[in-house]
Amino acid sequence: MLQGQGTQLLRQPSLSDSHIAFVYANDLWQVDRAGGQAVRLTTNEGSESNPHYSDDGQWIAFTGEYDGNTDVYIIPSAGGSPERLTWHPYGDMVQGWSPDGTVIFRSNRHGVPSIPSTLYEVSTAGGLPTAIPVQRSAYGEYSGDGEYLAYTPIVSWDQE
């Protein structure tokens, strides 16, 4: 007789001072860093991925794939409804936060064969994203003081 092993494959953890956000079954969950019962933050049709806490721990930026499109969303870490920040038909994948509180994401919205993706910033108040002036950037985050940007120029698989 086979017995279940309980919950497995908790993915993409993000840490705040007090909590851990993670993805399980394509939804966002949160648990106290000391342990305890995890709380589901999202139950939307579609999937959520790439959670990242803001520096103050009040917000979680994440990638949401709803209605056939992949965009940047934020949700209060205390729970609530997700708020959409990007509205573009190409995929926007959350990478983290800048020290000034904007959300960093990767997109191929202006991609060409030699530069398939670029990093952008978007305000939590909305508005148009701004490209970060680094050519061919796939993954990246700022240092805590905002002086440096560590980035990877290609995604895991690149045709070149």
User: What pLDDT, on the 0 to 100 scale, is given for residue 1?
Assistant: 47
- The 10s digit of each residue's pLDDT in 17-39 is 999 999 999 999 999 999 999 99
pLDDT of residue 47 exceeding 80, the answer is yes
List, for residues 87-104, the tens digit of each pLDDT value. Answer: 988 889 999 999 999 999
Number of Cβ atoms within 10 Å of the Cβ of 3:
5
pLDDT: which is higher, 108 or 159: 108
122 Cβ neighbours under 8 A, 6+ residues apart: 72, 85, 86, 102, 103, 105, 128, 129, 130
Percent of the chain's residues with pLDDT above 70: 89
Largest CA distance in the chain: 58
Q: Does domain 11-152 have CATH number 2.120.10.30?
A: yes
pLDDT at 110: 76
pTM of the model: 0.89
